[in-house]
Amino acid sequence: MSEHDTQAHRKPNRLINEQSPYLRQHAYNPVDWYPWGEEALSRARAENKPILLSIGYSACHWCHVMEGESFEDDAIARLINENFIPIKVDREERPDLDQIYMEAVQLMTGRGGWPLNMFLTPEGKPFWGGTYFPPSDRQGMPGFARVLAAVAEAYGRGAREVQNNSERLSAALQSLADFSPGEGEISRELPVAAARALARAYDSVHGGLGQAPKFPNSFVFALFLRAYDADNDANFADMVHDTLVKMAKGGIYDQLGGGFHRYSVDERWLVPHFEKMLYDNALLTRLYIDAARALGEPEFLAVAGETLDYVLREMTSPEGGFYSTQDADSEGEEGKFFVWTPREVREMLGDDLAPIAERYFDVTAEGNFDGRSILHRTIGLDEAARLFERSPEELAGVIGTIRGKLFAARERRVHPGRDEKILAAWNGMMISAFAEGYRALHDKRYLEAAEKAAGFAMSVLWDGRALRRAYKDGVARFNAYLEDYALLAGAMLDVYAATLDRRYLEHARTLASVMLERFLDRERGGFFFTSDDHETLIARSKPAFDGSTPSGNSAAVHAMLRLHAYTGDERYLLEAERTIKLFGESMEQQPFGSAHMLEAVDLYARGPTEIVLVGDRRSAEFIEWTERLGLLYVANLAIYAADPSEPQSGFVPEQARGKPQVDGRLTAYVCRERVCSPPFTSFKDLQAELHG
């Protein structure tokens, strides 16, 4: 029976009324799902039934697998409905719940992932759980039906294990937020020392860290760039360069449409997990831009531009916000949209171009993914030019034609599903990427996208008092989290750096004021995951470690330090210092989970590099200088405009106030640690000062 036929004879459950595509995907399951909320929790308490909490997201391949195997199975659904109060949660809408219960399963099993299936007491306390379960016993894993029966039996007879586990886990979850500030100052050498420790996990053959599965680890390589800038150790530059080259040539990068898949299942970046996440593409765009600046690699700018073009084409809403994810599956098969056979290539390209495409993108009869080929590059342009007796310039044009034809053919296929939720934090990362993309690539489309999305965030997600986490179908919902405020504040600062328009600085200050008012731990320092007016959960966590996205605290420290540079407000510096000291010990012990916070420590230790431009902001020379600055790697850049014709145009650091314009020419000053350079009226001299 097809999915459509199945849905036609079933009544939808409560999830049919939800906005989340992930929840709606489960709306016709025979499981009597609830969304998280008081209705479900009250019923659990009233009936003294345990809760089955199942957490996932719309682009999650194994979530789809478990749905088809178990949640669509009538017998398993009966077991669930008779013995549990089943609740479905979209982790992207409710990261607060996801973090609490993911930490619980990691405490129990030592590992985590999605789908996350946890069993809770009626009070919401976890007592047992896991991730993916097959429907019946398989390959050493217990079947879900057997798990459900065993958990229901143990809970029903009041097993001591249930009570002990729930008490032990609840106490452990509370303790995870129990950080204490260390003694003394944070070492200025900590970021470079941590980078050296992380470098020991570098894969010198294929790039990246560790073995399969291999994630991009954007924060670690961004830290390596900072370490290279601070210490001039070429090993850091080589690790970043080689990793980004191999990723851009691999199957993890969409060779036709641009953009990155989530991770590689092998160690050499060939076979990706095909979903595309907005945050990965935002973070990798910035990493490629900064690597292009620091290492002088123009191909990295091309990769960044193609990724931004992909987001404009496929992930941008008419209102200006950015969608969340694209699925790994299409037509029920993982990766089907992205893979090719020689026959398909020849049908699209003909006998002249097909041999070049097959060799350049490694399309073979045996394939590299279930008999088909994931496009990737095993040879360079020069080698391909020699093989096909063309000049490199001519072959580059041919490859461009091939990519265009194959892309057009691929567009006629059934596309992967797209989750059209617009999430505040993820939009913050993408706004930042577009702002930096404009500064580096000078494409006005990128600035327009950044400004439109920033306007959307501050007019639709912001209600004048608080942010909303998610937007879909015309409705903004859910109280926003620390990461939403922090990453959007950082985004506003990036748009300010790209435009020097003071309103974006004011937007950043508005968001920061809420962080300080409603998220701050006034006693110990640092920021809580949720605001003080948020729903009460079994733990109020304090996010310390970076995952695929920055922790709320690392993003908050970046925003606070940058706001201090741009405004001179000492409270921003004070709370950034307190937060850094609070997590100092964990950064030393677990640098892998603290790479973005270590970047913030670099900013704190070295201070911003402040560039003050004195002159007419509308002049061609001013615009040219800001464009050329956008091509330079300056690790902790803060840029200011002092226009003599607009004395109130913006904040200028105290040490640079009143600095004169020399002979009516555009004049620049570079200030570090409250000391400013002599005036520069030549961009060449300014560049030498920045890289001296």
Quick one: three-class SS letters along 555-601? HHHHHHHHHHHHHCCHHHHHHHHHHHHHCHHHHHHCHHHHHHHHHHH
For 492-505, how does the pLDDT look when each residue is reduced to its tens digit (9 = 90+)? Answer: 999 999 999 999 99
What CATH number is given to the structural domain containing 112? 3.40.30.10
Q: How far apart are CA 81 and CA 79, in angstroms?
A: 6
Q: What's the domain count of the chain?
A: 4
Residues 90 and 163 in one domain: yes
For residue 59, give both structure tokens. Answer: 């682009």
Containing structural domain, residue 650:
609-690
Whether 182 is in a domain gets the answer no
Provide the whole-model pTM.
0.94
What CATH number is given to the structural domain containing 644? 3.40.30
Residues 667 and 567 in one domain: no
For 153-196, how does the pLDDT look when each residue is reduced to its tens digit (9 = 90+)? Answer: 999 888 788 888 888 888 888 877 778 777 778 899 999 999 99
- Mean pLDDT within 89-116: 93
Residues 491 and 637 in one domain: no
Report CA torsion sign: 510, 515, 518, 524: negative
Of 412, 441, 458, which residue is a domain's last?
A: 412
Whether 184 is in a domain gets the answer no
Residues 393 and 453 in one domain: no
Q: How far apart are CA 515 and CA 640, in angstroms?
A: 25
Q: Which residue has the tokens 């970021």?
A: 191
Residues 434 and 289 in one domain: yes
Residues 586 and 559 in one domain: yes
> How does residue 125 score in pLDDT terms, banded at 50, 70 and 90?
very high
Residues 282 and 312 in one domain: yes
For 508-561, how does the pLDDT look when each residue is reduced to its tens digit (9 = 90+)? Answer: 999 999 999 999 999 999 999 999 999 999 889 898 899 899 999 999 999 999
Residues 649 and 509 in one domain: no
Judged by DSSP in three states, 353 sits in helix
Residue 253's beta-bridge partner residues? 260
Whether 181 is in a domain gets the answer no
Whether 183 is in a domain gets the answer no
Of 148, 175, 202, which residue is a domain's last?
A: 175
- Say if CB 242 and CB 297 are below 8 A apart: no
Residues 64 and 158 in one domain: yes
- Say if CB 44 and CB 50 are below 8 A apart: yes
What CATH number is given to the structural domain containing 222? 1.50.10.10
pLDDT of residue 181: 79
- Give helix 234-249 / helix 218-231 axis angle, nearest 10°: 150
Long-range Cβ pairs for the range 239-244 (8 Å, 24+): 239/199, 239/202, 239/207, 240/291, 240/294, 240/295, 241/291, 241/295, 241/297, 242/207, 243/207, 243/208, 244/207, 244/287, 244/288, 244/291, 244/297, 244/300, 244/303
Whether 186 is in a domain gets the answer no
- Mean pLDDT within 193-217: 96
- Mean pLDDT within 97-107: 93
DSSP 636: T
Of 606, 634, 660, which residue is a domain's last?
A: 606
For 14-37, how does the pLDDT look when each residue is reduced to its tens digit (9 = 90+)? Answer: 999 999 999 999 999 999 999 999
Q: How far apart are CA 69 and CA 144, in angstroms?
A: 10
> How does residue 76 score in pLDDT terms, banded at 50, 70 and 90?
very high
Whether 187 is in a domain gets the answer no
Report CA torsion sign: 294, 300, 304, 307: negative
Q: Which strand (E) or helix (H) includes residue 334?
A: strand 333-334
Whether 570 is in a domain gets the answer yes
What are the distances in angstroms from CA 19 to CA 330, 677, 685?
A: 21, 55, 55
